[in-house]
Structure 1
Amino acid sequence: MTQPSDYPHHQSVQTRWHDNDIYGHVNNVVYYSYFDSVVNRFLIEQGGLDIHQGEVVGFVVESQCRYLKPLAYPETITAGLRVGKLGNSSVRYELALFNARQELCAAGYFVHVFVTKASNTPTPIPERLRHALAALVC
């Protein structure tokens, strides 16, 4: 069973009122938003990614999520983040969302390919960013 300790990086995620759907739980598409926010916050804060003036950005080229237990507003989630594969210009992030009882509610991944903004062509992951991501490789 996957546990928070299986992930070297953790972030709290606060569900929002509009995350719930008509069935009273967080809508499936919102989980991807949580994943994206957790990864990008890490990249900005730990890897120095400059989303406004930087020359390099990450494009999502693949993603997947398994929904195991429902989440709902108001709930604070613990997101776990690790790197499953670190390539030359791409990285596979593995994520898990845990409820307050530390139960696994969702698990998934997505792949970023880093590209230059000007040409949208793959480029090696910048060194500071690579160093931050290498710390999450499991």
Structure 2
Amino acid sequence: MLVSRIIRPYNKLFKREKNIQTRWRDNDIYGHVNNAVYGEWIDSIVNKYLIEKCSLEPLKSPLIGFVVSSHCEYYSPISYPSKISAGLFVKRIEKASAVGGFIHVFVDRINRRPQTINDEMKKQLLSISNIID
């Protein structure tokens, strides 16, 4: 089994990692993982952290996160049957959003308006950042 572990400038920033096994269906006609799959991986690692560490309950929490921006930098192709290590860190925290390669804005479930990130969530997000509060 191949393990993709490409060292890039951001790797030293990662505070949390999740191993992901590529699937046969992830490959596209060019023989590598399709770019859309990377977004799924990012979404999975972010939401796993929010659920496990920030007490997010996607169907019940009064605060929910909307992705308002995302980007991905590709350094080398990956293809099935590789395993990858997806890294997570927070670059910046604002009143209602946390910024990384994915920008999540936390909004009220009912009115969908930005809300202040609560202290516990902010604490957990700071724990995976290089930000000094």
Contact persistence 1:58–1:112 (CA under 8 A): yes
**How far apart, in 2, do the equivalents of 1:4 and 1:68 lie?**
12
Q: Deviations over 1:64-115 (max 9, x none)?
A: 111110011111110111110011100012xxxxxxxxxxxxxxx0101000
Question: Which of 36, 49, 55 is the equivalent residue of 2:43?
Answer: 36
Asked if 1:131 is matched to 2:123, the reply is yes
**Root mean square deviation, CA, Å:** 1.2
Residue 97 of structure 2 corresponds to 90
- Give the length in aligned residue pairs: 123
**How far apart, in 2, do the equivalents of 1:8 and 1:89 lie?**
21
User: 1:122/1:3 Cα in 2 relative to 1: closer, same or farther (>3 Å)?
Assistant: closer
**How far apart, in 1, do the equivalents of 2:10 and 2:117 lie?**
29
In the alignment, residue 60 of structure 1 is paired with which amino acid?
Answer: V
Asked if 1:115 is matched to 2:107, the reply is yes
In the alignment, residue 30 of structure 2 is paired with which amino acid?
Answer: Y
Asked if 1:15 is matched to 2:22, the reply is yes
Q: Share of identical aligned residues, percent?
A: 39
**How far apart, in 1, do the equivalents of 2:81 and 2:96 lie?**
38
Runs of 4+ residues deviating >4 angstroms: none
**How far apart, in 2, do the equivalents of 1:17 and 1:125 lie?**
38
Instruction: Give unpaired runs (5+ residues) of structure 2.
Output: 1-7
Q: CA deviation at 1:2?
A: 2.1
Question: Which of 49, 64, 69 is the equivalent residue of 2:71?
Answer: 64
Other structure's SS at 2:91 match: strand
Instruction: Give unpaired runs (5+ residues) of structure 1.
Output: 94-108
TM-score normalised by length of structure 1: 0.84
